[in-house]
Structure 1
């Protein structure tokens, strides 16, 4: 069995996200998991150049989007291409099928703004290369990345667990001290809270949580807070 050679690099980017006609300034954590040769990129956002600078000369083997909101999709093509002109050499892009509508909406908007009809049609017909499924596993540099479907923030939100690295990449499902959100807006908070509870309960309390926004935390710290978040849903703060 191979030794675990993987390490985690983090890139923080900032940009604007429009949600229901409201614009929010969002800081995003991108995680690059791999060794000196190959990596998987989790949630590139806002600034493809910054992400690719951190990737360096390493080969991008896959790009995982933990949800289909626009800031998670805005750089996926550039990062998947990683400077390769031939699309046959691009890394596969992975998204849960529950966010297919978000994907189609985003690339449909790009197609409407495209003057070249051939390019517009290519954008309209674009699909993820991999549909993520609960329990699906990626392998990189001797470590496994397991997909857990956590609907609520979006229908297709997922988290990624690596037992070998001792981390949970929680995307925008879970942030430090609160359920994940964009600008404090929740799509389906009750479902999101149920997903968080089911996610955290069986995991080791000392497992590191690396969220899509903000500072890292641990499973134990967030599990202890989880029951208090029910008041958010009771107060009607979820949409």
Structure 2
């Protein structure tokens, strides 16, 4: 198999309910020596594109519509190309459309040039992710699983060929995922995690949106202990 996974870790701050939190974001590049798909580009486009190198970015997949995933999405999708027709498509679940519009609307308000502001207000994802949708890269398939709770449009990505689950901020090592310890809908998130993990092989690697990797078996064994985590810090 030629497909491989590269990881880039970037740090920054993101706002949740008007409170800023320090976040360390995992970006994953899935592909071969010629092309890659970028999952959750994070805070530092330069670092991500350095890891991409001379490879072509075929798509940018956002596992949710929170600010720390959107911040560099356009820059990474452009990958140095000036012509927008050459940019990689950006993919997001439609249920996070309001988060997308809110973020780019705030950017538009800070623009002095009205044409630039109008462009930001009108920008939309190129692909609306759907449960069961599949991306192909090198000799691997990436299957989209809708896992709402962290956000309404949160998704996870499974690759049987690579033996990995990209869980975004739906699931972190040792607990349900969050930003700054804030849970949007913990009950729905726990239901999504349970439904996601149950049918998967216990030795499948889990690469989360933040923190260290884990396995399906480790997290499945912890799942029923997480009901009272809503008030704890992440």
Report the TM-score when normalising by structure 2: 0.98
Deviations 1:196-231 (A, max 9, x none): 000000000000000000000000000000000023
1:63 aligns with 2:70: no
Return the alpha-carbon distance in structure 2 between the equivalents of residues 146 and 67 of structure 1.
15
Return the alpha-carbon distance in structure 2 between the equivalents of residues 29 and 186 of structure 1.
19
Deviations 1:8-29 (A, max 9, x none): 0000000000111101000000
Runs of 4+ residues over 3 Å off in structure 1: none
Return the alpha-carbon distance in structure 2 between the equivalents of residues 232 and 18 of structure 1.
20
1:36 aligns with 2:33: yes
Question: Which residue pairs with 1:84 in the alignment?
Answer: 81
Return the alpha-carbon distance in structure 1 between the equivalents of residues 84 and 213 of structure 2.
35
Structure 1 segment 1-239 matched on structure 2, within 5 A: 4-232=1-229
Instruction: Please state how far the C-alpha of 1:237 moved relative to its aligned partner.
Output: 6.0
Contact 1:150–1:156 at 8 Å: present in 2 too? yes
Question: What secondary structure does 1:161 align onto?
Answer: strand
Return the alpha-carbon distance in structure 1 between the equivalents of residues 14 and 119 of structure 2.
24
Any stretches of 5+ residues in structure 1 without a counterpart? none
Return the alpha-carbon distance in structure 2 between the equivalents of residues 131 and 138 of structure 1.
12
Any stretches of 5+ residues in structure 2 without a counterpart? none
Question: What secondary structure does 1:169 align onto?
Answer: strand
Report the TM-score when normalising by structure 1: 0.96
Instruction: Please state how far the C-alpha of 1:127 moved relative to its aligned partner.
Output: 0.4
Q: CA RMSD in A?
A: 1.1
**Aligned residue pairs: how many?**
233
Return the alpha-carbon distance in structure 2 between the equivalents of residues 96 and 113 of structure 1.
26
